[in-house]
Structure formats: C-alpha cells, structure tokens
Structure 1
Amino acid sequence: MSEQSTPASTSTTTTEENPTPTLAEAVRKFKTDELIDFLRKEEDLELDDDDLEIFRKQKVIGRDFLNSTKQDFRDYGLKGGPAKRLADFAKEVKEKKLRAYSSYKTRKDFEGVMRKFGIDGKNIKKIPSFSPETEKIEDNDKELQYCINHLKYIMSDLGSAADSNEALRCEYISTILHASLHIARRITKKRISLEPEFEIIGDEATGRVDFAIKKVLDTLDEELICITEGKQSDLAKGYMQNIMQLESSYHTNTRKRKASEAFDDKFDYLYGIVSTATDWHFIMYTPEKIYRTKATYNVPLAEDILEDDAELCRNLKKVLEVIVGLLKDRVNVDDSPAIKRARTEQYIKKRK
C-alpha cells in the first residue's frame, strides 16, 4: 500500500483476534500509585488531591477499588459526592470493553486515530515529520556483519521476504532488531531487552505487540521505549495500530512510575517501528502529537543478495543506524518531562 492509501473497510483476521478483555482486567492489577494516576485522569470524577490522598493512606489497590461500594468509599473517608461518583465509575470500568489493536483497520478508525492527535487527514502523509538522531555504524561492525550473514541464512533456507507469511517476516524483523539492540547496548552500556508477543493493556485498547523494546531499570522495573509492528503491505493500518500500541505503552509507563518519580507534567515520548521486513517506517509518539520520518528505508531481502550483498549492506546499515540512534536517545534521555519535551522539539525542528 502506498503512503497515500487508507485502510480498506474490511480486512482479513489476524492471529490476535481473541476475546477482548474489559478494562477491569487491567485495573485489577493496579498498585495504589497506578490506581491514583488512573483516577486522576478521569476529570469528570472531580477528585482533588485530598480525595486521592485517602486512597494512599488507606492503601487501596485496583482490586479493592473494583469491589468497593459507595459505603466502602465513605468508610475510607471520602465525602458523599466523590463516594457516589467512584462507585458508579467502578461499575463502568467493570463493564467497559477494550478494543484489540488488530481491530483498528477501517478508514473511519484511521481518521479517528488521526483526530486524537489533531491531524485532519486520510493518509499518513498528513502526519508531521521528525528527523531522528542516527548512530554511525562502520561497514566492518561485527553486529552488522553477523546480521547480514544471518539474513542470508534465512534467505537460503526460507526464501524472499516479499509476499511472505507473518512468521517469516517476523524472522527477518527479529534478526534486524536483535542486531540493533546488541549495538545499542554496546554503545550505551545500558540494559535493553527485546520481548516478542508482549501484551500491553491500555486505557482504550489491548493486545500483544509483535516486539516490545524495554529499558531495564532494575530487577523489578522496566520502561517501554519502542514498539514494533510487522505488516505485510497495509501501511496505514500498521501505522494506526502501532500508534494505539504506543499510546497504551505511554499509559503503562505513566502508571508504573513511583510517586517519588512522578511529575506534574506527564510529557513523555516513545518510538514506534512499522515494518514489512523490507520497508521500515519510524514514528515518534508524544501524548500531544505524533510524528513520522519522511525518508524511505528499504532493506532488499530478495534471493539475489545471496550472490551480491553490497546493496543489502548499504541499506541495512542505514536502518540499523536509525534504530540504534532511537534506542540510544531514549535510554540516555533524562527523566525530566521538560528535558524530554526539549529533545523532541529538537528533532521536530531538524525536519526538512
């Protein structure tokens, strides 16, 4: 599908189509600080800091919240109004269904996702651009050479990525992502992990993403920094599904922050990758706006690379330089929202 294309009104079913959970399944797992942050975002509840502090003092967690009645909320110390609103909201949460990421596939869905970020358009060209920092990789880099050889092994055994099935596409994508992570870890000395088929439950949507890249903070804590969605050809559908995955990842990161690490300004950013294995597109997500790279990145994965891999080396290196640059940026940036905001503005101003 070209950049101008929009998703068709119908689409084939993907393997992600499982019974959709309710929002309650996510809320039930919330710790106290995650629950407070979740409730604070519900402006129509009109809860003030004193109300939310009661949840902390009473050590109320997600499971408690869902099972609480108006009287329970009163017993915690809340006034009648907030207690009634919270009891009603708990019931709504238990009934609210989340959408599967794979269900975002129609023209109407695409336009709706774009409007969330103030974009009035029917194709991805309407998404404003950003210019990412890239990381220079030498031709003789050992991870680059290993990646080239491994891609050729896959090609020799399984064939071209063109018109391949999802499993083969993911095999190629995984190889390139693993090489990127090894280089990024070597450069940054930071712990970065790659997890396939990772489940992310957001406030609106849920499901398993093809690949989640995480910054490991300690043995019990990690932060989502990049989400990859593999698609055969439907680029617009890949974009909107990846954007919804990034939005859910943003909410997941926000909920997991400890109270001592929380900021009044909730600004943050993550990176997204939409790839067919041969074509690679990069997204920068912020809660206020989304951006995409204008440049075209293509990795030739046809059988002629078995005879001459010069073009594969050149183009693969460009893709690795972008991915490594994104990961290096995201694991090194300071946690301050002001600094993160300034960093994204720098990339937006660099766009051509």
Structure 2
Amino acid sequence: MSSETSTPYTPASASTTVAGNETVTLADEIKKYDTAKLIEYLQGQENLGLNEPAIKILENEEVNGLDFFDLTEEKLERHGMKMGPATRLVKFAKECKDKKLRAFSTYRSLKEVLAEYNLVSEGTEVIPLFTPQIHEIPDENKHLELCMADIKLRLKSYGTLVITSLESMRNEYVSTILHTALRIAEDATNKKFSMRPEYEIIGDESSGRVDYAIKESDELICITEDKVQQKLTEGFAQNIKQLESSFQTNKRKQKRDEDYFDYLYGVVTSARDWHFLLYSPGEILQASKAPFSIEFVEEALVENSEEYKTLRKGVKKVLGIIIGLLEDRACVEDKSDRKRARIEGYRSKK
C-alpha cells in the first residue's frame, strides 16, 4: 500500500511514529491520498476487481482519499457505476476504518521480527548471508572527489564523529554518501534514480515514514534506516518491516500475477557503520555479520595522512556496495523467474 509523502555516527533511529501513536487505521493513511494515488491503491486491491468504467468514474469525479470515505452506493450509482463495484467500494471503505496498521518505529524487538522468518535470536548473527555485487569506483571519479570534499568540509566544522554526535550531523554524512551513490549508479546504468527522505510507505500490516527511500522509475528498490549504534537491533527490525511494506507497495502497482516475485535492498546505518540487507518474500539476508565502517575522524583532514587514506577507503567500499545493489536491482530483468534465479545465485555464493 503506497503513499508518498530523513536522519547520522551510530546505526540512529530517525524512524517516525505514525502520528505519535502505536497504530493508526488504514483509513487515516488513505485520507492523505490524492485522486491518482487513491486510484492506484484501489487498483492494487485484487478483491475489489474494479474495471475501467468504475475507475473512470472515480477519476472524472476527482474523488480523493478524504472523499472516498463519504461515498455511498447511491452516490456512485448516480454517477453511472454498476451496483457490484459500488457495493464493493463502500464495503471496502468501512473495512479500512477498522483495519489497524502498526507504526514502523514501534518494532523494537528484533527477536519478534526474525521469528517470522524462522530465525531464533535477539541479535543479527543468525541472519543468513548473501554476496553483494560491488561496483569498482576509479580513484579519479568526479563524484567520489566531490563526496570526499563534502565530507572534509563537514569534518572541519563538526570534528570527529563519535557515538554522542547529534543525529543531524550524522544525517549529513549519510545523505552525502547516498546522493553520491545515486549519481555514480546513474552514470553506470543510464537509468534515473531518485531519493525521497521521510518517505511514507503503507504496507498490509505496518506503515510510517522511512528515513530514505530510493526509487528507480516509480518502483521502490532500496530503503535506508538511520539508527544510533546502541539501537542497532531496532534498526534491523524496523528496516525489515519497512522492506516488507515496500514489497507490498510495489506489488500493488503490478498487473495481477499469481507468480509475482520481487526483491529489495535495505540499509541500516549510523553513518560510521553500514549494514546491508536483501529482502524477498519470506526471506531476509545480510551482506556481512560485521559492519562496513567509515572512520570520520578530524585527523583525516590532513591530505595523504593514514587517517585520510582510511576514510577514503571506507567511503569507496560503502559506495561500491550501495552502487552495486542499485545496479543489480535496477537492471535485473522484470520477470519473476529471473529474479528468483538472481537471488538463488547470491545464496549459492555465500
């Protein structure tokens, strides 16, 4: 269920609770939709079976999310809708008022989330591994140079990034890394990527805003959760639920296909430490049991110092992984069997 509507050293939660509550109703979320988003959402509800004439009536009458809950069968039939779809829409609107969605930010127990994948642990060590593609970045890459210059400007202002650094400071490093990865990935693939901070996603059971959503065309392909180091396991739990909901969002936009299969990538980061997840229905994998780290230390301001070399090496490694994930997900053939084969290949290499 989709709706459109970001945050630095440490994995830190910038996850936003929905209206500050543990749960909201599905109706509360749908009320935010404009006409186009409402129609897209309704078309993704297979049980409604809406045909083109029914959709056209909603479109012509400019029915948005707020209007949807004031519809009656009489109103719809007056504008030419058949009794069947009119009845189903009104019944569905009532069901939406009763349907509760849990906020992403309320998932604090990784053990609870992993149990849904038949993994028993309170930590991340039991999550199986996958082997990510890594994009090799030439040292002279212009985007890499701009990224390093931007990082040095921040280091000069903020000093060494430590566990107590403000979330806003960490966010600036995360944003710089992600934007750089998108630009290099665009050059490598000739595809257009976009990044949406504080992007709202509505799943079948959960909803909320994710720190950063990366899209290729209109499809979600990567979700980033920013978490403080002390709350790393919360970051994993929330990112997994965000990926589940993103998968459901993508699925709704597809033509009905009983064999539909897809996968997405997740990132849990503190700016310093970076963890990468691969989600497919019923399965969660991680790129490494240990984090990939970037050492943001003030001593790195000295060009060609060991600290600068370590910083640059860490940045290149993390960028290479993110770019590799984007390239893989954006360029895979849009067929379920090919995507399954791709995931199986990653498993076999671990």
- TM-score, length basis structure 1: 0.80
Q: Name the residue aligned to 1:37.
A: 44
Q: Name the residue aligned to 1:319.
A: 318
Q: Name the residue aligned to 1:271.
A: 265
Task: State the distance in 1 between where 2:296 and 2:208 align.
Answer: 29
Change in Cα spacing, 1:13 to 1:177, as seen in structure 2 (3 Å) is: closer
Kept in 1, the 8 Å contact 2:13–2:226? The answer is no
Q: Name the residue aligned to 1:348.
A: 347
Task: State the distance in 2 between where 1:224 and 1:15 align.
Answer: 18
The aligned amino acid for 1:138 is P
Q: Name the residue aligned to 1:45.
A: none
Over residues 223-261 of structure 1, what are the superposed CA-to-partner deviations in whole Å (9 max), with x where a residue is unaligned? 11111111111111000111111111111111123x3xx
Residue among 218, 223, 226 paired with 2:222: 226
Q: Name the residue aligned to 1:306.
A: 301
Unaligned runs of 5+ in 2: 1-11, 59-63
Kept in 1, the 8 Å contact 2:133–2:324? The answer is yes
Kept in 2, the 8 Å contact 1:101–1:207? The answer is yes
Q: Name the residue aligned to 2:198.
A: 197
Q: Name the residue aligned to 1:147.
A: 147
Task: State the distance in 2 between where 1:149 and 1:73 align.
Answer: 59
2:105 aligned with 1:102, yes or no? yes
The DSSP-based 3-state class of the residue aligned with 2:208 is strand
Change in Cα spacing, 1:338 to 1:182, as seen in structure 2 (3 Å) is: same
Q: Name the residue aligned to 2:281.
A: 287
Kept in 1, the 8 Å contact 2:69–2:93? The answer is yes
Over residues 87-142 of structure 1, what are the superposed CA-to-partner deviations in whole Å (9 max), with x where a residue is unaligned? 7664342023322211111x3xx222112223232211111110111111122222
Kept in 1, the 8 Å contact 2:14–2:211? The answer is no
The aligned amino acid for 1:35 is L
Cα drift, residue 55 of structure 1: 5.3
Task: State the distance in 2 between where 1:15 and 1:174 align.
Answer: 15
2:216 aligned with 1:215, yes or no? yes
Change in Cα spacing, 1:159 to 1:100, as seen in structure 2 (3 Å) is: farther
Q: Name the residue aligned to 1:3.
A: none
Q: What is the 5 A alignment of 1:28-107?
A: 29=33, 31-32=38-39, 34-40=41-47, 52-53=48-49, 58-59=54-55, 76-78=82-84, 90-105=93-108, 107=109
Task: State the distance in 1 between where 2:226 and 2:182 align.
Answer: 17
2:299 aligned with 1:296, yes or no? no
Task: State the distance in 2 between where 1:35 and 1:161 align.
Answer: 46
After alignment, is 274-283 or 85-94 more displaced? 85-94
Residue among 224, 233, 244 paired with 1:236: 233
The aligned amino acid for 1:328 is E
What percent identity do the matched residue pairs reach?
40
Task: Determine which structure has greater relative contact order: mean sequence separation of CA pairs < 8 Å that are 6+ residues apart, divided by chain length.
Answer: 2
Kept in 2, the 8 Å contact 1:275–1:281? The answer is yes
Residue-pair matches, total: 315
Task: State the distance in 1 between where 2:319 and 2:250 align.
Answer: 25
Kept in 2, the 8 Å contact 1:271–1:283? The answer is yes
Kept in 2, the 8 Å contact 1:263–1:337? The answer is no
Kept in 1, the 8 Å contact 2:26–2:99? The answer is yes
The aligned amino acid for 2:291 is T
The aligned amino acid for 2:272 is T
Task: State the distance in 1 between where 2:75 and 2:197 align.
Answer: 41
Task: State the distance in 2 between where 1:346 and 1:196 align.
Answer: 32
Over residues 140-181 of structure 1, what are the superposed CA-to-partner deviations in whole Å (9 max), with x where a residue is unaligned? 222222211211110111222212111111100111111111
Change in Cα spacing, 1:58 to 1:19, as seen in structure 2 (3 Å) is: same
Task: State the distance in 1 between where 2:296 and 2:224 align.
Answer: 19
Task: State the distance in 2 between where 1:53 and 1:312 align.
Answer: 54
Kept in 1, the 8 Å contact 2:13–2:228? The answer is no
Kept in 1, the 8 Å contact 2:13–2:227? The answer is no
Task: State the distance in 1 between where 2:251 and 2:207 align.
Answer: 16
Task: State the distance in 1 between where 2:191 and 2:118 align.
Answer: 35
Task: State the distance in 1 between where 2:348 and 2:75 align.
Answer: 52
The DSSP-based 3-state class of the residue aligned with 1:25 is helix
Kept in 1, the 8 Å contact 2:204–2:248? The answer is yes
Unaligned runs of 5+ in 1: 1-11, 41-51, 217-221
The aligned amino acid for 1:246 is L
Q: Name the residue aligned to 1:157.
A: 157
Change in Cα spacing, 1:98 to 1:297, as seen in structure 2 (3 Å) is: same
Task: State the distance in 2 between where 1:13 and 1:281 align.
Answer: 14
Task: State the distance in 1 between where 2:136 and 2:15 align.
Answer: 37
